[in-house]
Amino acid sequence: MGAEAKKEIDERREKENRLASLYEQYFDRIAHYIYVRLGDMNEAENLAGEVFVKALESLKSYKERGIPMQAWLFRIAHNVLVDRLRRKGRITTVPIDGVPVEAREDPVAMAEKSIEMERVNEAMQKLTPEQREVVRLRFFGDLSSKEVGAIMRKSDGAVREMQRAAIEKLRGLLTGEVPDF
């Protein structure tokens, strides 16, 4: 075996190991990101699995270009989700209050949180689609603005600006300081 072939095999193994590590770290995040759009956890988990299969299949073509591999995975997740929504012909968004939260609270506090989350969900619908996507990726996908930028093909600064504008608009809508357009 030549030095070039050995180097190629070593690079492939390194990428596979990184992908396996990211599977452990990001499977739940990717499934959660998809779930927020689909409202079906079983399907979200199936699609999250599909994301990693597609990543493994395209691992040979993956090149480090200053974009973290996890951002590449979320881009694949976004594309898998868009393909699935096109096939089904409908978009379902799960209300934020429908997203499972791991917390043990008393029923009164949970009811108050549910009412507040309903208000947030209604306000989210008044954001632009791009602003909603930034909020989903940043807060439900737990990604950095640089990673979100890589997924959305926007600069880090553009993502931060969209996030700022989205949060400012949400804050205004929730406090009644901004007209409800």
43 C-beta neighbours (distance < 10 Å), count: 15
Taking CA atoms, 28 is separated from 51, 74, 100, 142, 156, in Å, by: 12, 12, 12, 11, 24
CATH number assigned to the domain covering 99-181: 1.10.10.10
Q: Print burial letters for 125-148: b (CB count within 10 Å at least 16), e (below 16).
A: ebbeeebbbbbbbbebbebbbbbb
Tell me the pLDDT of the chain (181 aa) as tens digits. 788 877 777 777 887 888 888 888 889 999 988 888 887 889 999 999 999 999 888 887 777 776 678 888 888 998 898 899 888 765 555 555 555 555 556 677 767 766 776 777 788 889 998 998 898 888 878 888 888 888 888 999 999 999 999 999 988 888 877 554 4
**How many Å apart are CA 50 and CA 67, to the nearest integer?**
21
CATH number assigned to the domain covering 1-94: 1.10.1740.10
pTM over 0.75: no
For the chain, domain boundaries? 1-94, 99-181
